[in-house]
A and B are shown apart, each in its own frame.
Chain A
């Protein structure tokens, strides 16, 4: 039977599995779930949210909603081991699952706290001071925020099934809007388990959270003014969805969060032997291997002084061989799991091949099946799994366009040399607005023209830069562009199976 969806406050499955997508264990290839929403009454679900869900949330103030978010976070905390176990099937190590599961729970706690600290215990938010329009003060104007009357459709990426859903659900719930969430097919079973915990807790007011697992063709046809869509996934899918009439002329708000070819700059003075160099290498390896590189904030472009390229590569190679054990996350000692699916593996290798064709040299790792540690502890290639070992490419010509535009969404990074700080800044900008990471330099703002948030100048602050899982709304780590954007957009926003953050 296909994975159930939660629609109109009931679990629902399609009548049969015909045409359902088969989702396999990322390490073993074993069938985990069939996913299909064939026959789901999407129009009915949307209308249920607009009526029942709106009424439920309309009865609550910001603070009352915020208290519920905290209680949901507590319930999920008690049962998070269930989510860790399921996440392992999708290739997540315990550390990876922590980013997703605890990150998601953290988002609930954060929005609960911010909701009560920063919003009134009411349903209207005043935006700014009143403007006195009549000289005697008898006529006044101001702006207010009230909730949108529709439903928040949230389309999520496969790499963070829990966090991705909760970081959109929490601000919508707080803002008084019911959610219809669509998880990405490859990890929909993790999202389903999380929603099931929330449903079983009894904390969800009627109609405030619905989950549709599987493809949803035609969903946008049923959207209308007052609804909004928050999409996370590929730029090409976002573009296609944005072109829909509901968005173009129907007044549906559409926000998206898509590909990012992030850059991290090593300062010209942060040579081998400095704490900044060590921190840079450490962060590069962490970003390569955490979630097997399937993070929107992973470093794709390591922009380093030309004279330091060999040192960086040697240090990264050595750190990988010392610390990285690729394998089934359920095996003892494994530090990096497979990609989410074999399809993702094929896609990543395809993009790496493009980078090689464009002039990238495989300095670390390669396209062959790596030897991995299986759940039973044995070693060897595992063609049924989606394994890719860390890959670092080196480009002699740092301005090679593909190095700045092709995203291999896995454990893949490219090392690009620069000679002057100005050139480093230009290289960062070639990413077309992707998140820059604070440069590692021993002096402040040596390479600061690349508009980083916070240059890291002292070793003491390095540890914060590598802290994973920033709960939205908190500036827990340096590299928060993606996160800060999310928090800022969060209250206002929320099909692709291949979607990712």
Chain B
């Protein structure tokens, strides 16, 4: 094959590759994308969640429930001494779990399963009092030739109340063709 460097707007790169690029046009005004089968789902289809406020109580509940009582979540003084945290912060996995709760459309439908998550990065710490929201955008659609479903890769971006990127990752799902 031949390797080519391409440069352009996110819209152009999306058009050339068939893979949605961050910054390209997205459609957030239609029905929730989890209600769409591969017959109607298009890359760029998006759901933007409402905001959820983070409390200290939530962090402690998650810590106790999971057993992850790492000091950055539980000890204000020790957390503040850490070079990366302003003080106690929310667990990254709590944010990812919340994000799923924020973007999900729970009723049975064409989305069959969540089979993985890739390229997860936690970029900005989240403190009690912050609020987060998530944007989930259909990034790549891979229908299977020999099955009645396909793979959909979703771009997930969690941001805070200052629109700073808190976390980014790809959510991998299996979605029915019809």
Contact = CB atoms under 8 A, between A and B. Distances in A.
Contacts of B9: 138-140
Nearest to A65: B145
Nearest to A70: B146
A140 B16 CA distance: 13
Contacts of A66: 145
A148 B22 contact: no
A143 interface: yes
A142 B4 CA distance: 8
A126 B17 contact: yes
B97 to A, nearest CB: 25
Given A139-B9, A140-B23, A122 B1 contact: no
A63 B142 CA distance: 9
B162 interface: no
Given A142-B5, A147-B1, 16 more contacts: A63-B144, A121-B142, A121-B150, A122-B142, A124-B17, A125-B1, A130-B13, A130-B21, A137-B10, A142-B13, A144-B16, A144-B17, A145-B2, A145-B3, A147-B2, A491-B1
Interface residues of B, number: 25
Contacts of B172: none
18 contacts: A63-B145, A64-B145, A67-B146, A121-B142, A121-B150, A125-B1, A126-B19, A139-B8, A140-B7, A140-B21, A140-B23, A141-B6, A142-B17, A143-B3, A144-B16, A147-B2, A148-B2, A492-B1
Nearest to B153: A120
A127 B146 CA distance: 26
A478 interface: no
A145 B1 contact: yes
Nearest to B9: A138
A130 B17 CA distance: 12
A133 interface: yes
A140 B8 contact: yes
A130 B4 CA distance: 13
A146 B4 contact: yes
Contacts of A492: 1
A63 B1 CA distance: 16
B92 interface: no
Given A63-B144, A121-B142, A140 B1 contact: no
Given A116-B145, A122-B18, A124-B17, A141 B5 contact: yes
A77 to B, nearest CB: 18
B137 interface: no
Interface of A: 63-64, 66-67, 116, 120-122, 124-127, 130, 133, 137-148, 175-176, 491-492
A122 B19 CA distance: 10
Nearest to A131: B7
A150 to B, nearest CB: 10
Contacts of A146: 1-2, 4
A492 B2 CA distance: 8
B21 A121 contact: no
B110 interface: no
Contact of A124 (B8, B18, B23, B145): B18
B73 to A, nearest CB: 30
A182 B167 CA distance: 53
B140 interface: yes
Contacts of B143: 121
B15 to A, nearest CB: 11
A137 B150 contact: no
B3 A121 contact: no
Given A63-B145, A137-B22, A137-B23, A124 B16 contact: yes
A130 to B, nearest CB: 6
A133 B7 contact: yes
A121 B4 contact: no
A192 to B, nearest CB: 29
5 A-B pairs closest in CB distance: A141-B7, A145-B1, A137-B23, A121-B142, A63-B145
A224 to B, nearest CB: 14
A455 to B, nearest CB: 33
A380 to B, nearest CB: 55
